[in-house]
Chains A and B, each alone.
Chain A
Amino acid sequence: MTFSMASVRPEQGPPLSVPLAFFFTAPFALIAAGVLIAVRGSEGLASMWGNTALAAAHLGAVGLLLFVMIGALYQMLPTVGGAAVPGIRLAHGVHALLLAGAAALIVGQSGGPVGAFTWAVAALLAGLLLFLTPTGVALARSRAEGPTVWGLRVAVLGLTAVVFAGLRLAWIRSGAPTPGVLASPTGWLTLRIAHAHLGFLAWIGGLLTAVSWQVVPMFFLAPAPPRALPWVTLGGVAASLVGLFTALFVDVEPSTVVWLALPGALAVWLAHPAWTLTALRKRARRRKDATLWFWWLAMGVAPLCLAAGAASAAFDSPKLPLVYGTLVLFGWAGALVHGMLTRVVPFLVWLHWCAPHVGSRPMPSVRELLPQRPIAVGFTVHASTLVAALAAIALDSSLAWRGLGVGLAATGCVLLWEVGTVVARGRAATR
């Protein structure tokens, strides 16, 4: 038997409080989005230009997704990249700054004082620099090879790009002078579309695909992706990242931006779900697992994102971009993140709190930390809320929108119950 000896240096993973702080922000963002929509009814929701729609989109994109994904990056970098993030205690400062910045952004976007955008820009810029500098150092230093670590690099570059574009939009909304190229409606639209797709494809798509090449085989005992697939996916995402980032600086038509997003969209919403669904079908462990339902939902919704994106670009209907944003943020990425939390949080709590006592006293298993029932309830509420969102967009009645608000708040409450249960049971077992 041949093998090579591996380094056995204990990795410097973050303290449990770091990922948990980021993960626990997610349910509150969902609750806030739900309350906002329930209170406003149909006001500001007729198109993606409406202030309630923009605020709700960022409660999802930033409050739910960005926080969970940053918490996951802090956790994954030492294990996947083999590189400790320097100054990990600063992560709590990052969390506080991002929280303040996201809150100010939502206040500004939902029609609050314009000055809120200035605070949002300052706090988000500070928080993201404090995050990107040490993680950039860790990723540059990492000697790990393979597509996952490259996927993390592309995703972090995608984060830098989406935030750069977002801060530029927010800075102008704060009342700063508008540079010439953005003064025309098409210039502004180009920037908006490039910003949204840098977020959808390079940041969210880049990270979710890279993470799944690692976790689908690991958590579901499924086959690893064929050798070429991750590189092809990564190539598509990287091509869109470069194209969309370039579009931020040159005078291009909004229709051109859509083409620049195409390679990433095909990779993330077609190639990736095709592999994931095949791998999950071949998984070795076939016991009941409610986490899987989130994967099936997200992977089923992914091609619909592609179709809705194409339809939004092809037809001039205010409803299509709403459908597109809902499918991407809540049906695809939101479902995947919700499902991953139901796996990752019990695992981390078990690892940090229970594993040290194994062998000396009885400890709960991960399935005892988070039983199947809360996960199944979480899935049912999440999936029903997705249907409610599509119905509200179609009907555009105040009642339907308020119903969606209740659904989003309920999804947040169930998510809080899921992650809260794990922490409470983990604490009780080790007390």
Chain B
Amino acid sequence: MPEDDWLARALPVEDLTGLEPPEPMLRILLACAGLTAEVVYCARLPHAPRPLYPQLEARGLEWRVGLCPDGTALLWIRGRAR
């Protein structure tokens, strides 16, 4: 998907798989405070973080989720381009 080429930009992946809920969500929401269209945040989670999506939408962020064969999920978030 050409419009998803920003996914390739996220470099460090924060590993949140060993945390109890809602700790991963807390970390992600705190990280979201500094995001712009240029700054991408990426995290690995134990599963797709469905309850988080409404929070990301309310903050006007753009996000993608990739499901890995081992059951974990990768989450990319960035601010929306104005």
B66: chain A residues at CB < 8 Å are 3-6
Q: Once the chains bind, are B29 and A358 in contact (CB under 8 Å)?
A: yes
Q: Is the Cβ of A366 less than 8 Å from the Cβ of B53?
A: no
Judging by beta carbons under 8 Å apart, are A4 and B67 in contact?
yes
Contacting pair A218 B46 (CB below 8 A): yes
Q: Across the interface, which residues of A come within 8 angstroms of B50, CB to CB?
A: 11, 78-79, 82
With CB as the reference atom, state the residue of chain A lying closest to B53.
A10
Residue of B whose beta carbon sits closest to that of A78:
B50
Question: Which of A8, A220, A347, A366 counts the most chain B CB atoms within 10 A?
Answer: A8
A-B contact count (CB 8 A): 74
> Measuring CB to CB, which residues of chain B are less than 8 angstroms from any residue of chain A?
18-22, 25-26, 29-30, 32-33, 46-48, 50-51, 53-55, 57-58, 63-69, 71, 73-74
Chain B residue nearest in CB terms to A79: B50
Contact between A359 and B65 (Cβ–Cβ < 8 Å)? no
The residues of B that contact A365 with a CB separation of less than 8 Å are 26
CB distance from B10 to the nearest CB of A (A): 12
B63 to chain A, nearest CB (A): 6
The answer to whether B65 and A5 touch across the interface, beta carbons within 8 angstroms, is yes
- Segment of A46-54, A110-118, A349-357 engaged in the interface with chain B: A349-357
Contact between B51 and A13, CB atoms less than 8 A apart: yes
CB atoms of B20 and A6 under 8 A apart: no
**A219 partner, pick from B21, B53, B73, beta carbons under 8 A:** B21
Contacts of A285 in B (CB 8 A): 18, 20
Interchain Cβ contacts under 8 Å between A and B, 10 examples? A2-B68, A3-B66, A3-B67, A3-B74, A217-B46, A221-B18, A285-B20, A351-B25, A351-B51, A358-B26
Bound: A147/B17 CA distance, A: 22
Residues of B within 8 Å of A8, CB to CB, are 53, 63-65
Q: Write the chain B residue with the least CB distance to A1.
A: B68
Total chain A interface residues with beta-carbon distance under 8 A: 32
CB <8 Å contact, B22 and A11: no
A359 touches B29 (CB 8 A): yes
- Given known pairs A4-B67, A6-B65, A6-B73, the reply for A347 and B54 (CB within 8 Å) is no
Complex interface bits, A158-183 against B, C-beta within 8 A gives 1, otherwise 0: 00000000000000000000000000
With A10-B53, A355-B29, A358-B30 in contact, do A350 and B22 touch (Cβ < 8 Å)? yes
A399 at the interface (CB under 8 A from B): no
Q: How far is the CA of A360 from the CA of B59 in the complex (A)?
A: 11
Are the C-beta atoms of B33 and A10 separated by less than 8 Å?
no
* Docked pose: A358 CA to B24 CA in angstroms: 13
Complex Cα spacing A362 to B30, Å: 11
Q: Closest approach, in angstroms, between the C-beta of B29 and any C-beta of chain A?
A: 4
The distance in angstroms between the C-alpha atoms of A4 and B72, with both chains bound, is 11
What distance in Å separates the Cβ of A147 from its nearest Cβ neighbour in chain B?
14
What is the bound-complex CA distance between A218 and B22, given in angstroms? 10
Chain B's closest residue to A214 (CB) is B47
> Given known contacts A5-B64, A350-B22, A359-B32, is B54 in contact with A13 (CB within 8 Å)?
yes
Are A218 and B29 in contact, CB atoms less than 8 angstroms apart?
no
Cα A13 to Cα B53 with chains together (Å): 11
Told that A221-B18, A355-B26 touch, could you supply 8 new A-B pairs with CB distance under 8 A?
A: A1-B68, A3-B68, A5-B64, A6-B66, A8-B64, A11-B50, A79-B50, A285-B18
Query: Quick check: B22 and A355 within 8 Å, CB to CB?
Result: yes
- Which of A4, A220, A224, A347 meets B71, CB within 8 Å? A224
| Given A5-B66, A13-B51, A347-B21, A356 contacting B58 (CB threshold 8 A) | yes
Cα–Cα, bound, A8→B57 (Å): 10
Residue pair B57, A10 in contact (C-beta under 8 Å): yes
Docked Cα-Cα span, A106 to B77, in Å, equals 52
Residues of A within 8 A of B30 (CB): 358-359
Q: Which one of A5, A6, A221, A355 lies within 8 Å of B55 (CB-CB)? A: A355
Going nearest first, the 3 A-B pairs with the smallest beta carbon separation are: A3-B66, A359-B33, A358-B29
**Residue among A82, A347, A358 having the largest count of chain B Cβ atoms under 10 Å:** A358
| A46 to B28 alpha-carbon distance, docked (Å) | 57
Which of A5, A6, A9, A82 has the largest count of B CB atoms less than 10 A from its CB? A6
